[in-house]
Structure 1
Amino acid sequence: MNHCPAGWESERLKDRVRFAYGDSLAAEDRNDGEFKVFGSNGIVGTHDRAITNGRTIIIGRKGSFGKVAWCDEPCFPIDTTYFVDSTQSKEDLRWIFYALESLQLDGLNFDSAVPGLSREVAYSMRLAFPRKPEQQRIAAYLDASCAAIDAAVPAKRRQIEALDGVRKDIIQKAVTRGLEEHPVLKKTGNVWMNELPVTWELISLKRVSEMQGGLTLGKVYEGPLIERPYLRVANVQDGHLNLQDVTTIEVPEEVAHRVELRPGDVLMTEGGDLDKLGRGTVWSGEIPDCLHQNHIFAIRCFKHKLLPSFLAYLTASRYGRDYFEATGKRTTNLASTNSTKVGLFPIPRPSISEQYAICQFLDEKLNHVAQIVNGIESQIATLNSYRKSLIHECVTGQRRVTDADLARVGRTETESTRA
């Protein structure tokens, strides 16, 4: 810290605060109780015993290292954390909590194998310490000033969740019922979709498309090879592609030709998390001469039968998610499908002209929803930035908190010192 306000003392963190290690407590050893159990990313359960003395600061040590959490009562921080309570510091704990937030400890990773926060590195950081009464005044002011932000951000995130539900409802109705308000329906006799508009047909995906398999990695080839980029499962997201990290591979030219992607291919994943199984994204030729791994199916729609964008919307709908989640093979942590199940995916198929109209409608509607979401996310970013800036200014003394400031936010100095 370059500037120390008058009356404050610049010292290393270790001179005023000690980080105690959390204790081991496996999930199966926890007994339901009144005390919160904290991991590096926050509350992970409860227990019938606490190891801290009263109010506690919890700092992520491994995993979500450097994340700072607060508990108003005794708790049980586990062994992926450090903690600070009244036995580790004589400073105002609530001020220390805000000061640790301002240090951005999550940027101090010195463990290359497992992300982690070194206690000694944290200890070496310098802070300007005001006297305890001023610490308490700052903490009370920040508690009041941040309370509105801390309430507003979750509310705005709930708005985004609600909009995601709206987005899903819009897709579901459009791809299974069309754009008419009250379409005439007919029975299909199919377990996955027992009704659909009378002018539509329900048809297996394999009857309106062809499927291209991908590269099997690790295979040894002889003869001349060419280097080509190829997509992995991680590159195919739900409704979009992540092309920031695209790997290359060397294969014979004839192999590359067999697994080369074409604009209009719908990419569907074979395995991964259950909720991402079968997710479809349209390939638009973003990378020339790009290949794909065998865990990605490239679905090539018959253009006079099925639009790629309509198929992509189907895989994103609740109907599509239900099919792939129900037919997927589940293991402990992952799930998978296969070419047979993908080929049997029942497609509610309107005419090509109606598919065009539906896709245009969805493009416009979802773009509008996305703009609203982007606006809310921008508001959240602004609130978080203001909160971070306010805390930094107050705990570094750039903004001196007065009794008048406390009165303005309706707080008193003693409100930060409750036991």
Structure 2
Amino acid sequence: MSFPKYPAYKPSGIEWLGEVPAHWELCALKRITDLKSGESITAEDIDEYGTYPVFGGNGFRGYTEKFTHNGTFALIGRQGALCGNINYATGKFYASEHAIVSKPKVTHETYWIGKLLRAMNLNQYSVSAAQPGLSVEIVGNLRIPFPPLSEQSAIAAFLTRETAKIDALVAEQQKLIALLKEKRQAVISHAVTKGLDPSVPMKDSGVEWLGEVPKHWEVKALKFIATVQTGIAKGKDNTGKDIITVPYLRVANVQDGYLALDDMAEIEIPVADLQRYLLQSGDVLMNEGGDFDKLGRGHVWDGSISPCIHQNHVFAVRPHAVSPEWLNTITGSSYAQFYFMTRSKQSTNLASISSTSIMELPVVLPPPKEQATLLEFLMKQTTSFDTLTAEAQSAIALLQERRTALISAAVTGKMDVRGITA
């Protein structure tokens, strides 16, 4: 959909802005709004059941029993990765020191100025210290376009409608991705526990939560078909030892179904320890823990980096009586993930599992030829799911790009939205 332009433009003299509608004003941000950091607040003063909401650099944080502001304001994240993040708060609320509150000096639309600030990419003006931070003075001195109030309202109304439409489309794609992920996992789990022939005789697996498996399949604990190699811990004293520097895998490198090897760390270890921690092609890598979705996550090591070792939070499971591909498929299945979760040590949003517990994982073992058939079937199925997921992710990226471009064009006057009501 194309939108009309204003009848006349003028140079703004601002590099990022370019031309603006001829009748718009240009001024320093501090001329129209008072920018002040919020007030310090401790985690102990924030809970789920207080009276007034608390807003920080990333938006809502919880509730407290006092407030710092009353009204409708745009909030700017001022520290770390949240520099330039824009949120809104209405009514009585507490603004923490991690937010800059934009309090109007001249009447203007809060939603309009919030969208303008987002389009300005304020993060680029952050000052690095212990962590990046925004200077209120620097932000206040930035020059901005300032349309008449009626046009601010028109822009705000237009963006409210249009971004809501885009957000709804994004939500549909996200829902599709979730459904594809669920279906993908269901197909894998059914194939590795029931096989492909619905008429085959079944037997009790001997594992209550696993249920029945094909009668001719075996079920063995992992310790009988593989060994588990633990990784190296950082911080050991290597004084006086013959040292070698080698690449090593971290949890960040071991993703679900693939390895991210673009950013490999290195570590110094004694030469005598190299064989102890060395990865071998065919090792099934599994994460010891982290976020719940990382527990047991892994992939097969292909030996593309040699030598290479692994940290203590990544297990190298070395199969000797099962194919690496089958074992990797099993460890990524729903039943294995259930096992890992029920055997893990858990805290808030985090979990970890020991090598001892991993070795007790029940592994279903079809005959080798049937394993190969199942793996071929799953390769085709998962490739289809992954293709559909990638298409949905691409659609989301395009929608988000359009959303960003639409906001930027509207708040900078590159399109004239006056009179557009639907």
Q: Above 0.5 in TM-score?
A: yes
Query: Which amino acid counterpart does residue 308 of structure 1 have in structure 2?
Result: P
TM-score between both structures, scaled by the size of structure 1: 0.87
Query: Mean Cα displacement is larger for which, 203-212 or 89-98?
Result: 89-98
Where is the strand percentage greater, Structure 1 or Structure 2? 2
SS in structure 2 at match of 1:380:
helix
1:176 aligns with 2:181: no
Query: Which amino acid counterpart does residue 357 of structure 2 have in structure 1?
Result: K
Compute the RMSD of aligned alpha carbons.
2.5
* Residues 1:94 and 1:368: Cα distance change in structure 2 (over 3 Å): same
* Residues 1:402 and 1:370: Cα distance change in structure 2 (over 3 Å): same
- How many angstroms apart in 2 are the aligned matches of 1:77 and 1:126? 25
For residues 83-138 of structure 1, the C-alpha deviation after alignment (integer angstroms, 9 at most, x for no partner) is 235x5552222211211111112344324323433322322322111122222222
* Residues 1:289 and 1:137: Cα distance change in structure 2 (over 3 Å): same
Tell me which residue corresponds to 1:212: 229
Superposed, 1:358-397 pairs within 5 Å as: 358-397=374-413
Query: Which amino acid counterpart does residue 283 of structure 2 have in structure 1?
Result: D
SS in structure 2 at match of 1:356:
helix
Q: 1:351 aligns with which of 367, 373, 378?
A: 367
Identify unmatched segments of 5+ residues in structure 2: 1-13
Tell me which residue corresponds to 2:353: 337
Query: Mean Cα displacement is larger for which, 37-46 or 238-247?
Result: 37-46
2:154·2:418 contact (CA, 8 Å) conserved in 1? yes
- How many angstroms apart in 2 are the aligned matches of 1:281 and 1:186? 30
* Residues 1:171 and 1:39: Cα distance change in structure 2 (over 3 Å): farther
Tell me which residue corresponds to 2:279: 261
* Residues 1:35 and 1:364: Cα distance change in structure 2 (over 3 Å): farther
Tell me which residue corresponds to 1:186: 203
* Residues 1:203 and 1:10: Cα distance change in structure 2 (over 3 Å): same
Tell me which residue corresponds to 2:416: 400
- How many angstroms apart in 2 are the aligned matches of 1:295 and 1:38? 35
Tell me which residue corresponds to 2:296: 278
The percent of aligned pairs where both chains have the same amino acid is: 36
Tell me which residue corresponds to 1:244: 262
Query: Mean Cα displacement is larger for which, 250-259 or 351-360?
Result: 250-259
Q: 1:117 aligns with which of 100, 125, 134?
A: 134
Tell me which residue corresponds to 2:3: none
Tell me which residue corresponds to 1:412: none
- How many angstroms apart in 2 are the aligned matches of 1:144 and 1:333? 36
Query: Which amino acid counterpart does residue 396 of structure 2 have in structure 1?
Result: I
Tell me which residue corresponds to 1:227: 245
Quote how far apart the aligned CAs of 1:338 are.
2.2
Quote how far apart the aligned CAs of 1:344 are.
1.0
Identify unmatched segments of 5+ residues in structure 1: 410-419
Quote how far apart the aligned CAs of 1:207 are.
0.6
Query: Which amino acid counterpart does residue 159 of structure 2 have in structure 1?
Result: L
1:68 aligns with 2:86: yes
* Residues 1:195 and 1:146: Cα distance change in structure 2 (over 3 Å): same
Query: Which amino acid counterpart does residue 258 of structure 2 have in structure 1?
Result: H
2:228·2:316 contact (CA, 8 Å) conserved in 1? yes
Query: Which amino acid counterpart does residue 244 of structure 1 have in structure 2?
Result: D
- How many angstroms apart in 2 are the aligned matches of 1:329 and 1:46? 30
